[in-house]
Amino acid sequence: MQTLLRQAPSKRFLLLMLSCLLMLPAIFVPTSAHAASDAPAKVTITNTNVTAGQSATVPVMLTDPGDGVGAYNMQIDFDPSVLSIVSITPTHGVVAPEDGAPSDTGYFQSNFDNTAGWARVIWIDSTGGNARINDPAQLFAIEVKSLSSETTGTYHLTVDTSNDEKWAIYRSSSYAVSSTVEGGDIVISKANSGSGSGSGGSSGGGSATPTPTPTATPAPTATTAPVMVYIDGKEQQYATAQTSVQNGRTMIQLEVDNEKVIQQIDTSGIKELRLPIQSSTAAVVNSGLNGQLVKELEKRGATVKIETPSASYTLPAGDINIDAISAQVGSAVKLSDIKIIITIAAADNAVANAVQNQASQQGVTLVGAPVNFEIIAQYNGQNISIGQFNHYVERSITLPAGSDGSKMTTGVVLGEDGTLRHVPTYISVTGSTYFANINSLTNSSYAIVYAPASFKDVEKHWSKNDVNDLGSRLIMKGVSSNEFAPNASITRAEFTATLLRALGIHKASGSPSVSFSDVKAGSWYENEVKLAVSNKLISGYSDGTFRPNGLITREEAMIILNRALALTTLPTVSDAAEINSLLAAYGDSSSVSGYAKAAVASALKNGIVQGADGALNPDSNVTRAETAAIVKRLLVKAGLING
């Protein structure tokens, strides 16, 4: 026991875990339940290729659970002069909490010693039998690193199965079952290989010894391992992950067994297909589905969620619009022949440098590295980018360890003009880890920034919090570096531009043509008007003008806000009785134009606009402070930013 304890990250906890292993009769069914069967269990340590001097992920699989596994205890040994352990990540079970709260997937504990060359892993079903592993599953992943860029060859992760302190698989009732382990080869190769030859020469009739031709070191090959997918939270071994290194970046290609998933959801239905990748070193993660599976998910209103340690992407299958893709490649093409690649990747150096340089120019602080999200449909060498959506799609970026949640204000995207622009972002925290949850209408590379704003002239103004918040999100600017002019009116062009920035709309939807006679080419608002028209936020006046420099009224602002609701999950009001009921509470409701009543009612219903002293004041001009307040309420009510 003391030998085991010296290897534990928490002596008290490991003692408890080991005690549980020795007391399995108290938490599992009687031995007689297994008297008729003694099927051995089998564990596979996936053979893995590693580039010299770099890291790779080694999945450890329970490839055959026998009659079920209720606990395991294993020590994996390695040569510490060649390899080191970077991390051990559970894929079945959770790290046991200090308070001992139960887990539906059991307790997991691990530790490693890179000086002595061992890694110790223990897992136990903490539920009394409900979390036993009865199907093949990935148990955990070990991230190993080659210590030298010069050392190559085959090395081994080994287990001493003859020592029950270092290896044991339990079923129930202190029942240590027979078990085997296979694999564990770590093949280290240099990233670049080549060959050369030297030629011998002669001088004065003498001869030189020929220079031997160096033996070429084989280039690293891809490593393939089975991985788990989750259908509505239920673990299934329906995918494989191929890990390779390209241009110095670790890449993982996740291939889903589309037919197996379709068969499963035909039987049980589905709301979410979750594809987790555990590697913390992968710079690029590609997840491959075929068009037929996407169609089946779409018909059921299901989402696809790709998860990595650095980011996640939650995508309603319907947003892929597989029918439109099918029409592009040809309706005769089978959907199963169309491949959908969903990518989460660390932004390349050019993008990362551009974001960092622009952050410095704009005086904002970058929090973490930019992350790129991309979807591509592939067929017969043709790539179709899926980069624009009709409503918000969420992706989440994990903030660096130790990040201060109060020192990050928004997600940004690098605009076509080279500036960093706001994307709706709310910050969440799990334990001590912060996440930036970005909702966007497009795919792109996103980064998180800290850009606190404070204007002197709102210090004692009712709008202080709203104004400073929108300033820190790069949505509204001051009239100078420290003044906002909260009581000044705002023009129609300025209000439209503010709303576009707030909603994160930086690209046109389709190819808009602007025919307003008073929107001049080259004006500062020309592009904003095009964006607003293409996203159906504005339509202008019946005389063909937009009146960009005219002051916007409360009624006009609510009409534009009502159109923006279509991009969110907030409801609009169309029922006449409900419209009249909402407006009846205000004494001047008869002043609301007939065409604006539904929009005003929607703004009231969602709490975006509030009356003043029992009046709506539909014809009053909107101030800059009121703009900040109603735009922030829209984003908060829609769940796009923190309240």
Q: How far apart are CA 352 and CA 366, in angstroms?
A: 10
The pLDDT of residue 217 is: 42
The pLDDT of residue 52 is: 85
Out of 9-18, 78-87, 338-347, 460-469, pick the least confident: 9-18
pLDDT for residue 196 is more than 80: no
Residues 391-427 have pLDDT tens digits of 999 999 999 888 887 888 899 999 888 899 999 999 9
- For residue 364, how many C-alpha atoms fall within 13 Å in the half-sphere facing its CB? 29
The pLDDT of residue 6 is: 41
DSSP character at residue 632: H
Q: How far apart are CA 144 and CA 48, in angstroms?
A: 10
The pLDDT of residue 511 is: 65
Q: Report which residue type is found at 298.
A: E
Where does the pLDDT of residue 100 fall: very low under 50, low under 70, confident under 90, or very high at 90 and above? low
The pLDDT of residue 138 is: 82
Q: How far apart are CA 209 and CA 195, in angstroms?
A: 19
Say which residue, 208 or 374, is predicted with more confidence.
374
The count of residues in the chain is 643
624-637 vs 464-472: helix crossing angle, rounded to 10:
70
Out of 202-206, 279-283, 631-635, pick the least confident: 202-206
Residues 108-162 have pLDDT tens digits of 889 999 899 999 999 888 877 788 888 878 888 898 999 988 888 889 999 998 8
Out of 62-66, 430-434, 551-555, pick the least confident: 62-66
Where does the pLDDT of residue 192 fall: very low under 50, low under 70, confident under 90, or very high at 90 and above? very low
The pLDDT of residue 607 is: 96
What proportions of the chain, in percent to the nearest 5, are helix, strand and coil? 25, 35, 40
The pLDDT of residue 386 is: 93
Say which residue, 105 or 444, is predicted with more confidence.
444
The pLDDT of residue 610 is: 86
Our CA dihedral for 74, 76, 77, 83, rounded to 10 degrees, sits at -160
The pLDDT of residue 99 is: 63
Out of 196-205, 226-235, 325-334, 349-358, pick the least confident: 196-205
Cα angle vertex 614, ends 610, 616, to 5°?
55
- 157 in Cβ contact with 78 (< 8 Å): yes
The proportion of the chain whose per-residue pLDDT surpasses 70, expressed as a percent, equals: 87
Sign of the torsion angle spanned by Cα atoms 234, 235, 238, 243: positive
Q: How far apart are CA 462 and CA 628, in angstroms?
A: 11
Beta strands in 212-352 (DSSP E): 223-231, 234-246, 249-256, 272-276, 284-290, 303-307, 311-316, 339-346
Out of 137-141, 174-178, 294-298, 558-562, pick the least confident: 174-178
Residues 574-619 have pLDDT tens digits of 999 999 999 999 999 999 999 999 999 999 999 999 888 889 999 9
The pLDDT of residue 1 is: 33
Where does the pLDDT of residue 199 fall: very low under 50, low under 70, confident under 90, or very high at 90 and above? very low
The pLDDT of residue 395 is: 96
Strands 303-307 and 311-316: antiparallel
Q: How far apart are CA 258 and CA 305, in angstroms?
A: 15
pLDDT for residue 285 is more than 70: yes
Q: Report which residue type is found at 22.
A: L
What average pLDDT does this structure show over 559-587?
Answer: 95
The pLDDT of residue 244 is: 87
Give me the residue label for tokens 């980064």: 447
The pLDDT of residue 473 is: 96
Q: How far apart are CA 321 and CA 329, in angstroms?
A: 13
Residues 377-395 have pLDDT tens digits of 999 888 999 989 989 999 9
Q: How far apart are CA 77 and CA 158, in angstroms?
A: 5
**Which two structure tokens, joined as six digits, stand for 71?**
């606990």
Where does the pLDDT of residue 321 fall: very low under 50, low under 70, confident under 90, or very high at 90 and above? very high
DSSP character at residue 569: S
pLDDT for residue 429 is more than 50: yes
- Beta bridge partner(s), residue 436: 397, 427
pLDDT for residue 11 is more than 80: no
- For residue 224, how many C-alpha atoms fall within 13 Å in the half-sphere facing its CB? 5
Residues 222-278 have pLDDT tens digits of 688 888 899 999 988 889 998 888 877 889 999 999 999 999 999 889 999 999 998
Where does the pLDDT of residue 484 fall: very low under 50, low under 70, confident under 90, or very high at 90 and above? very high
Q: Among residues 408, 487, 415, which one has the least CA distance to residue 452?
A: 408
What average pLDDT does this structure show over 67-74?
Answer: 90
Say which residue, 513 or 247, is predicted with more confidence.
247
The pLDDT of residue 39 is: 76
Does residue 458 sit in helix, strand or coil?
helix
The pLDDT of residue 415 is: 85
Where does the pLDDT of residue 349 fall: very low under 50, low under 70, confident under 90, or very high at 90 and above? confident
